[in-house]
Structures are given as C-alpha cells and as structure tokens.
Amino acid sequence: MYSNIVGSSFSWSDLLLLITLLMTGFYGGTGFFVLMGGNPAILKMSNATFAEYWQHTDYYMAARMRFFGPCMMLCVVVSTIQYFLHHQVTSFWLMIGAILFLVADLIIVFSFNHPLNQLIQSWHLNQLPDDVQMIKNQVVSAFWGRSVCMIGCFILNLLAFWQR
C-alpha cells in the first residue's frame, strides 16, 4: 500500500484518496476534541462564558465550514465512486458507511445545531435569556451525536484506504 502512495505508481486517484483521508481526519479530530475536552469544558462554563465562547466559535466555524464541508463531502463521494470503479468492493461499502455518517451529521446540524447557533448569535451578552443553561445542554447533546458521526466517518474512510 505504501509503495502505491509514494512509489512510481502514484496517481491522481491516490492523491484524491489522501486528500479525502486528510479532510476526514480533520473532521474526526474535531469530534475527538469535542469528546475529550470541548463538551466537558462547556458543561463547566458559566452561562455568560458559554454564550461568548459559542458566539465566537460559531462565527469562525460557520465561515470555514461553508468551504470545508462541501469540499470534504465531494471528496468522500468521489473517492467512493473511485473505489466502485476500481472494483474495490470492501472499500466501496466502507465509504458508503462514511457517507451515511456524513448525512447523519448534516441532519443533526440542520435540525439542531444551526437553529441553536442562530438563537445564540441573537443573544446580547449583557442580557442573557433565562434558558441559557437549557440551550447549552442542547448544544452539548447535539455535539455528542455529531462527534460519533465525525469520528465514524474518519474511521470508515481510514479502513477503506487500508483495504484497497
């Protein structure tokens, strides 16, 4: 496998698979961070600290994910097609699983995170609503599920890469 990546048989399709692996690795790493420290830290934050932190984090993540998210999804889909066209059946089905994790994450994002993010962005830090703690718990709950999807997508992509 390694010689296929760096040896004389290196191809554009190998580059695509590596880029896909790198992008899903960043994505899975985000989920790992959330599980290891992000969510536990949020739960310990005061409501005011949470509101300010989340407004800043959402502002920057929203700007970057408009580019990163579609690029990653495109790479995962094209890599899946590539595995299919090269008759790499096990890798193909692993990537189908990775796509399902991405779709599940998108459902969580648009059903829960995006509406919560819009709500939190509307808050004035000097006058927080009474339900901040409840909203904070909803954000954390959504990210537990999202983290499973993020890490699952990366692991299935990694396994597909190893199986080829």
Q: How far apart are CA 109 and CA 111, in angstroms?
A: 6
Give the structural domain span for 157: 35-163
Look at residue 10 and tell me if it is in a domain: no
Look at residue 125 and tell me if it is in a domain: yes
What one-letter code names the amino acid at 31? G
Region 128-144 average pLDDT? 98
Region 136-159 average pLDDT? 98
Predicted confidence (pLDDT) at residue 3 exceeds the cutoff of 80: no
Label residues 4-15 b or e (16+ Cβ within 10 Å = b). Answer: eeeeeeeeeebe
Q: What was the pLDDT predicted at 10? A: 73
Which residues does residue 127 pair with via DSSP β-bridges, in sequence order? Answer: 124
Look at residue 82 and tell me if it is in a domain: yes
Task: Give the CA-trace dihedral at 147, 139, 36, 29, to 10 degrees.
Answer: 40
Let me know: does 1 contact 162? Beta carbons within 8 Å: yes
Predicted confidence (pLDDT) at residue 1 exceeds the cutoff of 70: no
Q: What was the pLDDT predicted at 4? A: 53
pTM, two decimals, is 0.89
Look at residue 26 and tell me if it is in a domain: no
Domain count, the chain: 1
Look at residue 22 and tell me if it is in a domain: no
